[in-house]
C-alpha cells in the first residue's frame, strides 16, 4: 500500500511514533498526483516546493515536541477560489489568470496553524458559477469512477482529487450544493457546515449570504477532523457514538415522486434509511417545506448577489468570461429589488418552517442528487444543463449538512445527505460515521486507470 492511501489517523500515528516523516508522506502524494492527475484533471496548480517546505517544518516541529493537532504534517488541497499568498488563485477564469494574492485566506491561515501541508489548488467552475465549460484555458475535472462523466460542481477538482486518491482531504465551497454534489457524484464525503462556521475572508464570493466553506474528504472522520482544524466546531468529538435512540426524519416526499429521480436513487435511499433503522435509529417519514419554493427563493438571491459581485468586471472586461458564466450572470438582470426582497422573505419563512423538523428529529435525511453523474456528452458548453439535486434549501436555511456515499447506480456513486440542527456538525458526523461503519460504501474507491 502506498503511503498516500493512509488515512489521516493512520498517517498521524506513524508521524508521531517516528515510523514516517511528513516529507515522505508528501512525496508519496506528489508522486500519486503525477501518476494520475493527467487522467483526472483535479489540480490547476501543484505547489510541490511549498508542500515540501511545509512538510519539512512539520517534521521539525514534531521532532521538537510541538504537535499542532490531527492535520499536522498531512497533505491537503484547496479549491482555486481560495486565496493563497504567492500562489495563483484564478477562480477558474481568464479574469484572474495573472492573479497572485499577497495574503492567505483565513481558512488557509488556520490550516497552516494546524500544521497542514498545502500540495496545490484544485479546479473550479468559473467563479463557482456553472459548468463544465469547454471554452476556458482550464480543463474540466473528470470523475475518477468514469472519466467520461463529470464530477459535479463547482468544487469539481477537490472531489476528483479525493476520489482519485490524490489527497485524503481538501477544501471546497458550497453556495447551492458545490461541496455536496461533487462529493456525491464522486463517492466521497462532503461537509457543508453551519453558515459562517468557517470564515469566508479571502474566499472569492459567489453569493455572500449563501456561501459556505468546508471539507471534501475520503471519510466522515477525516472530514470532521478537517472541519475542526479550520473552525471552532467539535465535529470529531462524537464520532464513536452509535445510533441507538437517534430520531431521524426521512424526507421521502421531497424526491420520491419527482420525475427526475432515477429509480436507483429511490431504491438506494430507501435501503439507506432501512440501514439506519437496523443500526438503531428511529426512522420516520416527515414532510418538509415545499422544495420548489425553497429552491426558487434561493436561486433568486443567488443570481442577484452574484450579479452584484461581478457588475464591475462585466462592464470592464466582459469578453474575459467564458460563455456559460457570462450567460449565467446576465440572468440576474431580469430581477428587480422587489423580486429579491420577496425571495429573502420567502426563504426566511421556509427556513423557519424547516427548523421545526428538528423539534422531533435529531437529523433529516434525503438524497444529495437525484441521479448519478452525467456524461460529458450531456453538456455542449453552450446551453446550461441543470443537474437535479436537493441541496440549495440548506444554503438558504444555513443548516449543517453531511453528504456520504450510500451506494451505486450503473457503477457510479450516489450520496445521502444528513441534515442537522444549526450548529450541530458533531451530531450529523456521528450519524454519518455510524452509517459508514455499518456499510461498505466508504471504503470503495475507483481503481487506478478507471474505465472510460
Q: Which residues have C-beta within 8 Å of that of residue 39, sequence separation ≥ 6?
A: 142, 144, 147, 164, 449, 450
Do the Cβ atoms of 189 and 214 come closer than 8 Å? Answer: no
pLDDT of residue 190: 98
Residue 79 designated active-site: yes
DSSP secondary structure of 190-209:
EEE-STTSS--TTB--S-TT
Distance CA 25, CA 15 (A): 9
Residue 170 designated active-site: no
**Closest to 131 measured CA to CA, from 400, 379, 334, 447:** 379
Distance CA 414, CA 21 (A): 36
The catalytically annotated residue of 41, 47, 79, 155 is: 79
pLDDT of residue 260: 97
Is a pLDDT exceeding 80 seen at residue 452? Answer: no
Q: Which residue has the cell 455499518?
A: 438
β partners of residue 214:
172
**Closest to 128 measured CA to CA, from 305, 315, 337:** 305
Distance CA 203, CA 107 (A): 9
The catalytically annotated residue of 154, 158, 397, 403 is: 154
Do the Cβ atoms of 444 and 405 come closer than 8 Å? Answer: yes
Distance CA 385, CA 367 (A): 20
Distance CA 313, CA 95 (A): 8
Mean pLDDT of 304-309: 98
Average model confidence (pLDDT) for the chain? Answer: 97
The catalytically annotated residue of 178, 219, 397, 442 is: 178
Assess whether the previous peptide bond of 154 is cis (omega < 30° from 0): yes
DSSP secondary structure of 378-432:
G--SSS--PPPBS-THHHHH---EEEEEEEEETTEEEEEEEEE-TT-HHHHHHHH
Distance CA 431, CA 154 (A): 26
Residues 161-176 pLDDT 10s = 999 999 999 999 999 9
Is a pLDDT exceeding 80 seen at residue 192? Answer: yes
What confidence category does residue 442 fall into, taking pLDDT thresholds of 50, 70 and 90? confident
Do the Cβ atoms of 279 and 242 come closer than 8 Å? Answer: yes
Distance CA 103, CA 100 (A): 9
Is a pLDDT exceeding 60 seen at residue 409? Answer: yes
Residue 121 designated active-site: no
Q: Which grid coordinates are listed for 320? A: 474575459
The fold adopted by the segment(s) 3-292+341-443 is Amidase signature (AS) enzymes (3.90.1300)
CA-based Rg of the chain, rounded to a whole angstrom? 20
Assign 363 to helix, strand or coil: strand
**Closest to 303 measured CA to CA, from 429, 163, 130, 445:** 130
Residues 92-105 pLDDT 10s = 999 999 999 999 99
Residues 195-254 pLDDT 10s = 999 999 999 999 999 999 999 999 999 999 999 999 999 999 999 999 999 999 999 999
Distance CA 422, CA 4 (A): 35
What confidence category does residue 383 fall into, taking pLDDT thresholds of 50, 70 and 90? confident
Distance CA 184, CA 36 (A): 21
Do the Cβ atoms of 191 and 418 come closer than 8 Å? Answer: no
Q: Which grid coordinates are listed for 375? A: 456524461
Distance CA 1, CA 185 (A): 26
Mean pLDDT of 245-271: 98
Residues 273-283 pLDDT 10s = 999 999 999 99
Do the Cβ atoms of 118 and 111 come closer than 8 Å? Answer: yes
Mean pLDDT of 179-184: 98
Mean pLDDT of 406-415: 97
What is the residue extent of each domain of the chain? 3-292+341-443
Assess whether the previous peptide bond of 132 is cis (omega < 30° from 0): yes
**Strand residues in 80-194 grouped as ranges (E):** 117-122, 169-174, 189-192
**Residue % of the chain over a pLDDT of 70:** 99
Do the Cβ atoms of 186 and 143 come closer than 8 Å? Answer: yes
Angle ∠(435,436,441) on CA atoms, nearest 5: 115
pLDDT of residue 449: 56
pLDDT of residue 384: 85
Amino acid at each position: 500500500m502506498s503511503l498516500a492511501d493512509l488515512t489521516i489517523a493512520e498517517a498521524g500515528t506513524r508521524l508521531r511514533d517516528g515510523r514516517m516523516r511528513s516529507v515522505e508522506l508528501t512525496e508519496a502524494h506528489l508522486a500519486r498526483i503525477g501518476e494520475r492527475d493527467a487522467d483526472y484533471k483535479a489540480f490547476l496548480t501543484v505547489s510541490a516546493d511549498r508542500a515540501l517546505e511545509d512538510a519539512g517544518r512539520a517534521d521539525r516541529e514534531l521532532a521538537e515536541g510541538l504537535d499542532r493537532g490531527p492535520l499536522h504534517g498531512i497533505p491537503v488541497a484547496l479549491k482555486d477560489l481560495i486565496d493563497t499568498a504567492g500562489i495563483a488563485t484564478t477562480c477558474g477564469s481568464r479574469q484572474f489568470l495573472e492573479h497572485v494574492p499577497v495574503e492567505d485566506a483565513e481558512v488557509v491561515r488556520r490550516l497552516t496553524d494546524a500544521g497542514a501541508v498545502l500540495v496545490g489548488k484544485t479546479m473550479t467552475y468559473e467563479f463557482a458559477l456553472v459548468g463544465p465549460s469547454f471554452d476556458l484555458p482550464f480543463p474540466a475535472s473528470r470523475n475518477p469512477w468514469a472519466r467520461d462523466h463529470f464530477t459535479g460542481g463547482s468544487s469539481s477538482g477537490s472531489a476528483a482529487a479525493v476520489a482519485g486518491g490524490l489527497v485524503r482531504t481538501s477544501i471546497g465551497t458550497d453556495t447551492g450544493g458545490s461541496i455536496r454534489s461533487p462529493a456525491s457524484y464522486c463517492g466521497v464525503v462532503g461537509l457543508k457546515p453551519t453558515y459562517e462556521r468557517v470564515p469566508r475572508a479571502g474566499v472569492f464570493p459567489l453569493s455572500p449570504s449563501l456561501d459556505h466553506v468546508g471539507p471534501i474528504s475520503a471519510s466522515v472522520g477525516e472530514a470532521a477532523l478537517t472541519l475542526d482544524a479550520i473552525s471552532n466546531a467539535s465535529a470529531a468529538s462524537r464520532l464513536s457514538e452509535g445510533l441507538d435512540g437517534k430520531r431521524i426524519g426521512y424526507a421521502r416526499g421531497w424526491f420520491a415522486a419527482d420525475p427526475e429521480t432515477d429509480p436507483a436513487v429511490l431504491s438506494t435511499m430507501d435501503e439507506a434509511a432501512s440501514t439506519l433503522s437496523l443500526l438503531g435509529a428511529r426512522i420516520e417519514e416527515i414532510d418538509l417545506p415545499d422544495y420548489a419554493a425553497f429552491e426558487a427563493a434561493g436561486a433568486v438571491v443567488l443570481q442577484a448577489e452574484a450579479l452584484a459581485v461581478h457588475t464591475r468586471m462585466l462592464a470592464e472586461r466582459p469578453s474575459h468570461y467564458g460563455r456559460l458564466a457570462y450567460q449565467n450572470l446576465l440572468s440576474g438582470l431580469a430581477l428587480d429589488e422587489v423580486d429579491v426582497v420577496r425571495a429573502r422573505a420567502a426563504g426566511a419563512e421556509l427556513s423557519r418552517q424547516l427548523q421545526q423538523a428538528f423539534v422531533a428529529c435529531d437529523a433529516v435525511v434525503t438524497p444529495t442528487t437525484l441521479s448519478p453523474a452525467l456524461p460529458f456528452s450531456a453538456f455542449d458548453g453552450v446551453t446550461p444543463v441543470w443537474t437535479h439535486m436537493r441541496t440549495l434549501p440548506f444554503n438558504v436555511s444555513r443548516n449543517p449538512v453531511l453528504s456520504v456515499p450510500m451506494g451505486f447506480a450503473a457503477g457510479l456513486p450516489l450520496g445521502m445527505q444528513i441534515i442537522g440542527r444549526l450548529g450541530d456538525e458533531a451530531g450529523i458526523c456521528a450519524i454519518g460515521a455510524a452509517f459508514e461503519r455499518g456499510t461498505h460504501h466508504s471504503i470503495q474507491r475507483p481503481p487506478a486507470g478507471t474505465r472510460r
